[in-house]
Structure 1
């Protein structure tokens, strides 16, 4: 007598029950959720497709060059004996940190470019941690930066971008534009070490048509500019892009947040289309951690669970003069 089998509908409910209620969590390979989903791909035909789809969406966590190389090897593979499912080309959410201490690693850069080219049509959310500042453009004899830029430029469907620890400096001799400026669908963004006094930073933010939420972690030269003055005077007043609501969050340790200049904010932005908030990152329990390490660790954890877009910071009003202390 054959053993009784569960109906497919019940099996699919079991697969869904593996996922935590938070729909934004990204899981590393060692996580119990990832391992369980991987096991469910082998249980039956009914669970294979659903578990595979969830792995593509929620478990693409590349934290080494070796893992990156293995994913590329598996990219074209499907199991002939099982129903066709989404290939690895259908990744929609991704965490990637394949470099170690230096960006000067051409094979890894080429693999990053290849992966981004493969997933460019489906990738919507990207969390990146790369040592961008470790390779001076004058010493980039292998064109590593150009190789990486070629890959990043392909991500034209990206809606959410988080760049941890360092600013994504990928300008090259024939292309000085910030690479994130080339993504027309971008809605939410986290940048570390952004040069707040840069004309081009605010030009790029103002001209991206769908950008609505920007987190500037450990911003540089904050007290050198008036944020609203910079943003609202990059385009003609009647430009429709200035009519959208946009939120700017300044994120750092409390004692590291600098002066926020608010002169003429009511005159510049009478409809309060831009909201500016200051968020103080909780102090680490590890006294040896540098401010950058503390903020990076906190932002990484918050980016991977999606809570970074729900920060409850202190709103900066026109009457305010200073948030935190000068650096």
Structure 2
């Protein structure tokens, strides 16, 4: 019986197979995903497939979900400098606390390596697990040094907080430090958890000249006198369109009345700012915090978060002293 001969596909077809296997452009994949595994396999085939697969891994599959994974990645960079060209990153290297100086240094080193190319960043880091007055190792300042380098960032999601990187004592009455994400001048899409919404917050938002979409999960101050009048505060500082999405569980979602005197027609007659509430269903005894954070994290990873829509709000809420939702 005649022996079958092996068939060698042209390299152009092999490269096309790699390209056709990719997810949508704004999707981040974890290491166990089949597409991630496929791309890793192609890095071992030949020089051409390795080059292309590595580029796509840096666009879709840099998922550093533990300290050892981050450390291993950094140790690989000297021999494979192309791994510095990350455009999208999921970063969650800490456990239950950031009181871990070696991991903080690794984060700073990674961000120093990738600051010129990184455009999408999703972090799941417990920045409120260590307050400035208890930070005896200077961990918070180390992290600040890394995040301050991200001058080309266009999309940022903080799953667990509002990017709380203050190094000032939280009980200091003179602590007027502004939102840290103001350091990202090219930011177009921003999602933060449990920020305090007041007039200073909207001033910070207005200062972001490229911002198009703002996602606020379980925000505090939505019905405070200084935070509820979104449009008046925002348009006092700028005149740019903005989409705002307020995320919470159904039972904790902020409610808006229909009183004519609270409508925003005069403030925003062209409806440049769209404000929507997006309510997440809660099953049985699910934890409100965990459910909201998981929803946002998944939406951020798969690139759908910015397209979520809910009930459009045409009017500001009447003033009611709000009980903080807590972090």
Please give the TM-score of this superposition, normalised by the length of structure 2. Answer: 0.88
Within the alignment, does 1:317 sit opposite 2:319 as a pair? no
Superposed counterparts of 1:1-327, under 5 Å: 3-20=6-23, 22-78=24-80, 87-173=82-168, 176-197=177-198, 199-224=199-224, 225-233=228-236, 235=237, 242-260=238-256, 263-284=262-283, 287-318=284-315
SS of the aligned residue for 1:268 comes to coil
Q: Is the 8 A contact 2:54 2:83 kept in 1?
A: no
* Cα distance in structure 1, aligned partners of 2:31 and 2:110: 18
For residues 284-317 of structure 1, what are the alpha-carbon distances to aligned partners after superposition, in whole Å with 9 as ceiling and x for unaligned? 4xx3431011111111111100110111211001
* Cα distance in structure 1, aligned partners of 2:84 and 2:47: 21
Cα offset, 1:260, TM superposition: 4.3
SS of the aligned residue for 2:265 comes to helix
- Which segment drifts farther, 141-150 or 252-261? 252-261
Q: How many residues align?
A: 307
For residues 103-143 of structure 1, what are the alpha-carbon distances to aligned partners after superposition, in whole Å with 9 as ceiling and x for unaligned? 11111111101100110000000000111111011111111
* Cα distance in structure 2, aligned partners of 1:59 and 1:178: 29
Q: Is the 8 A contact 1:162 1:303 kept in 2?
A: yes
Aligned CA distance change for structure 1 residues 27 and 175 (closer, same or farther; 3 Å): farther
- Which segment drifts farther, 144-153 or 252-261? 252-261
Cα offset, 1:2, TM superposition: 8.2
For residues 41-66 of structure 1, what are the alpha-carbon distances to aligned partners after superposition, in whole Å with 9 as ceiling and x for unaligned? 11122311111111111000000000
- Tell me which residue corresponds to 1:81: none
Q: Is the 8 A contact 1:223 1:260 kept in 2?
A: no
- Which segment drifts farther, 223-232 or 293-302? 223-232
Aligned CA distance change for structure 1 residues 18 and 276 (closer, same or farther; 3 Å): same
* Cα distance in structure 2, aligned partners of 1:116 and 1:260: 41
* Cα distance in structure 1, aligned partners of 2:108 and 2:177: 19
SS of the aligned residue for 2:157 comes to strand
* Cα distance in structure 2, aligned partners of 1:151 and 1:259: 39
User: Over aligned residues, Cα RMSD in angstroms?
Assistant: 2.3
Q: Following TM superposition, where does structure 1 have runs of at least 4 consecutive aligned residues deviating by more than 3 angstroms?
A: 1-4, 259-262, 319-322
What stretches of structure 2 of length at least 5 have no aligned partner?
A: 169-174
For residues 127-183 of structure 1, what are the alpha-carbon distances to aligned partners after superposition, in whole Å with 9 as ceiling and x for unaligned? 001111110111111111111011000001000000002221111249933221011
* Cα distance in structure 1, aligned partners of 2:207 and 2:271: 18
What stretches of structure 1 of length at least 5 have no aligned partner?
A: 79-85, 236-241
- Which segment drifts farther, 173-182 or 101-110? 173-182
SS of the aligned residue for 1:158 comes to coil
* Cα distance in structure 2, aligned partners of 1:289 and 1:168: 25
SS of the aligned residue for 2:79 comes to coil
Aligned CA distance change for structure 1 residues 205 and 308 (closer, same or farther; 3 Å): same
Aligned CA distance change for structure 1 residues 194 and 51 (closer, same or farther; 3 Å): same
Q: Is the 8 A contact 1:253 1:280 kept in 2?
A: yes
